């Protein structure tokens, strides 16, 4: 485990405590309700690049403050399912299983399949922030898979098979399946479908800030590897998916009240583990735009 790193925020020590696992660190002593100086922001950025998942504990901030903090890292992206935007704050996607007055207040099945946020966009997400509002007494964990480590540990034959390859990503890949599982997932309008056309990205992307290679395919959005017959593509993707989520690549986040988690979509995939339907769960998500993968 790396040594604890410290700086000072408004007179209080800020600690970055790496988890004993393949990704992740806990940030202690940070109050996002207070202004941030440049040194603190630089420390957060450096820690995010090193650990890929940062957990900010006990953040009692408003949605607008979450948006403002997220914007320090880049422009924000608006999810295509606008009916689950937070009223008055369209940059916030409500992730929730709560139903009020016969209608869901948020996207209840978000994260059902392993994925990297918005990989189906020409400019996929740099990172996402998820802020806990209500948490279930049982379940509700989020799993993160280190895709740098997944690439580094690929068997030689698999690495050779994907060298130079590109893959198609589509928001629609699992949409019909998700609708079968959930009565609340809405039909898409033609305008929404037109907003998310399929895109092509490298199977192995290079992190634009660290230069590290990472697998960049997921069961949720990757439809095929270009240049291969569909059956060969399916078989190769199945091997890559299975390898990516081996236990030694995964950190499991068990949420605490008011946690805000900031993860790097260029380095990770994530999965929502789910919770009992009678347990209320509500979180607010912001998503930061990245750049075109290469």
- Active site residue ranges: 115, 117, 270, 285
The helix (run of H) or strand (run of E) holding residue 240 is helix 230-244
The span from the CA of 265 to the CA of 118, in Å, is 9
55-to-43, 256, 261 alpha-carbon distances in Å: 14, 10, 5
Interatomic CA distance for residues 169 and 241, integer angstroms? 14
Beta-strand runs (E) in the chain:
5-9, 12-18, 25-28, 53-56, 85-86, 89-96, 99-100, 103-104, 125-134, 142-146, 166-169, 199-202, 204-206, 213-215, 222-225, 250-253, 260-264, 268-272, 282-289
3-state secondary structure of 200: strand
Report in angstroms the alpha-carbon separations of 263 from 23, 50, 189.
10, 11, 30
């Amino acid at each position: 485990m790396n040594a604890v790193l410290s700086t000072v925020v408004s007179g209080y020590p800020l600690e970055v405590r790496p988890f004993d696992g393949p990704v992740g660190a806990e940030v202690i002593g940070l109050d996002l309700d207070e202004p941030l100086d440049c040194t603190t922001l630089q420390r957060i950025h450096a820690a995010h690049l090193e650990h890929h998942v940062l957990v900010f504990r006990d953040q009692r901030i408003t949605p607008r403050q979450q948006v403002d903090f997220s914007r320090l890292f880049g422009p924000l992206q608006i999810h295509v399912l606008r009916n689950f935007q937070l009223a008055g704050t369209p940059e916030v996607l409500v992730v929730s299983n709560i139903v009020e007055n016969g209608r869901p207040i948020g996207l209840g099945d978000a994260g059902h399949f392993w994925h990297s946020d918005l990989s189906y966009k020409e400019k996929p997400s740099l990172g996402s922030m998820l802020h806990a509002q209500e948490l279930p007494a049982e379940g509700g964990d989020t799993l993160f898979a280190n895709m740098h480590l997944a690439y580094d540990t690929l068997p030689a034959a698999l690495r050779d098979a994907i060298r130079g390859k590109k893959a198609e990503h589509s928001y629609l890949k699992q949409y019909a399946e998700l609708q079968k599982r959930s009565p609340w997932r809405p039909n898409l309008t033609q305008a929404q479908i037109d907003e998310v056309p399929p895109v092509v990205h490298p199977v192995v992307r290079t992190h634009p800030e660290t230069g590290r290679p990472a697998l960049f395919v997921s069961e949720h959005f990757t439809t095929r590897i270009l240049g291969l017959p569909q059956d060969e593509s399916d078989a190769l993707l199945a091997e890559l998916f299975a390898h990516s989520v081996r236990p030694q690549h995964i950190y499991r986040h068990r949420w605490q009240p008011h946690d805000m988690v900031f993860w790097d979509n260029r380095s990770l995939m994530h999965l929502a583990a789910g919770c009992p339907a009678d347990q209320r769960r509500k979180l607010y998500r912001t998503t930061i735009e990245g750049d075109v993968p290469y």
